[in-house]
Amino acid sequence: MTGRWQMMVALSLCVALFSANWTALHAAQEMISRDLDLTPAAGVWLVYIYPAALLAVLIPIKGRLGVLLLGLGAFGLASAAAAFAANGVMLVGCRAAQGLAAAIVLRAGFELAREHFRGTELWPALVIPVVLAVPAQIAGPVIGGVITEFLSFRWVFLINVPLTVVALLAVALFTPRRAPAPA
């Protein structure tokens, strides 16, 4: 497997992390609402702010790898902050930050894919993350339910920190520093 395909696998791990994170909260929402004394409106914000913030993926960005690594770091920090949120407002803000950071990573990853894959190779390269995103989204509520049942809702967020470190390392190690020369 060449470096650019390894890069796509690393980016796919990021997409899987973001997808599972999106849906894992659904299983934990009841416990979060009870523990942080959320109003029903705050509970709705908590669930929907993340996918709403993901719409930032439509914003064009400059830079590729550096921006992607910054976005991953921000996602890890927002996850850690969410794990220790003292109230619902802080948790909703952390979820918004997670969504924005994920959008930055997704946009930069898409730009990296466009830079390293051309012609008939581009679409197969973009399918890999989508293929991993679907089962990750399906697994998210199961993962969130198990974590919430045996630990605490805070671990739904805290588990993202080591996974983000793994994703950071994988992206940093496997992303080629130069795009291939045009054919």
> Tens-of-pLDDT digits for all 183 residues of the chain?
457 788 888 888 888 888 888 888 888 888 888 888 888 888 888 888 888 888 887 777 776 788 888 889 999 999 999 999 999 889 999 999 999 998 888 888 888 888 888 888 888 888 888 888 888 888 888 888 888 888 888 998 999 999 899 888 888 877 777 655 555
CATH top-level class of 3-174: mainly alpha
Q: Which residues contact 2 (CB under 8 A, 6 or more apart)?
A: none
CA distance 96 to 45: 9
Specify the pLDDT at position 180: 59
- Rg, C-alpha atoms of the chain: 17
